[in-house]
Amino acid sequence: MSSNGMTVDAGVDGIVAEFRRWLEQERGLSAATVCCYGKQAAKFLSWLPKPVDSAVRQLDSMQVTSFMVDYCRDRNTSSAKATVTAVRALLRFLHASGQSRVSLAGAVPAVAGWRLASLPRGLDSAVVTRLLEGCDRATVVGRRDYAILMLLVRLGLRGGEVADLRLADVDWRSGEVIIRGKGNRWDRLPLPSDVGESMVAYLTDGRPVCQARTVFCTVRRPYRRLSATAIPAIMGQACCRAGLDRVGAHRLRHTLATEMLRAGASLPQVGQVLRHRSILATSIYAKVDDNALRVLARRWPTGERS
C-alpha cells in the first residue's frame, strides 16, 4: 500500500522503472526530477484498474481527465502543476514505448495559473548575513553547510546543482566551476574568491575520504554523496539557528537576482547568471526592478477639470 492509500502492484513498479530510465536516457532529466516524476506516475498508474498492463493498453482520454480532476481538486496550484507535467510525460512515454495505442498527453487538463502573477521574494541582506553567521565553522557540519550556503547566495545555484557539484567540476587554477543544470545542461561560471575559500575550508578539514566524487558528502558513516533533498533541510536548519521562519533554498536565488537588478544589472545579465533558457523565465524579476519601473509610473489623476 502506498502512502496515498493506493495499492501498488508489480506492474506499476515495472512501468515506473522503465519510465524513469526513459526520463534519464532520452530526456536527460536530473535525478531529482526523475524521482518526482516517478512518484507522480506511480499515483496515476495505481489509480487505474488492475491489471495495470491491460488498463494502460485500453486507456482513454476520459480516464486521464477524470484522474486529474479528482486528484488535483484539493491540491494547491504548484502541486497540481507538478502532477500535470509528470502525467503528461508518462503518457508520452507509454505511447512512445508502444504500451498505449495513442498519445493521450493532450487529454491532461491544464491548471489555471497566471504567468508572472507572483512576485519573487528575495531576502534582506541582514537576513542573509544571519544565515551565514549561524554556521559554526569550528565544526565539520558548520564548514560544510557554510560552503553550501555560500554557493546558494553568491552563485544563485539550485539545490540539486549544489548536491551534484563534483570535485572535478572545480577548476581552481582558472577560478571557474562547472554547474550541471536542468535538462542535462552544463555551464561554466566564475568562482568568487569567498566561495572558493569556504569550499577549501571544508575540503581540507572536514570532507571525509570516500568513494563519492561529489564535493559535499554526509558527515556520518557510511559516507556518501549528499542528496538533493538534504539542501532544503540544511537551509531550514540555518533558518532555525538564525531565529527565522523557515524559507526554501530557492529564496537565495531570488535574492541574488533582485540584488543584481538593484545594483544596475540588466535582465539579460541576470538571466545569464541564473542560466535561464528563456528571457520569459527572467522577466518576472522586472517587477522588483524599482528603477526600471519608475519611468513607467504615471501621475494619479486628481479629478480636476482644465
Q: Which long-range contacts (CB under 8 A, 24 or more apart) does 292-295 make?
A: 292/261
Q: What does each C-alpha distance from 151 to 7, 66, 221, 279, 284 come to in angstroms? A: 41, 43, 25, 23, 23
Q: Which of 130, 241, 250, 251 is catalytic?
A: 250
Q: Which helix (H) or strand (E) holds 165?
A: none
Q: Which residues contact 95 (CB under 8 A, 6 or more apart)?
A: 101, 102, 103, 104, 105
Q: Which of 207, 253, 254, 275 is catalytic?
A: 253
Q: Which of 182, 224, 251, 287 is catalytic?
A: 182
Query: Catalytic site residue 50?
Result: no
Query: Catalytic site residue 253?
Result: yes
Query: Catalytic site residue 158?
Result: yes
Q: Which of 20, 43, 143, 158 is catalytic?
A: 158
Q: Given the DSSP bridges, would you call strands 186-190 and 170-171 parallel, antiparallel or unpaired?
A: unpaired
Q: State the amino acid at position 107 in one-letter form.
A: A
Cβ-contact 187, 178 below 8 angstroms: yes
d(CA 253, CA 156): 4
d(CA 272, CA 276): 6
State how far Cα 12 lies from the chain centre: 26
d(CA 68, CA 53): 20
d(CA 159, CA 205): 23
Query: Catalytic site residue 276?
Result: yes
d(CA 146, CA 152): 10
Cβ-contact 235, 149 below 8 angstroms: yes
Enzyme catalytic residues: 158, 182, 250, 253, 276, 285
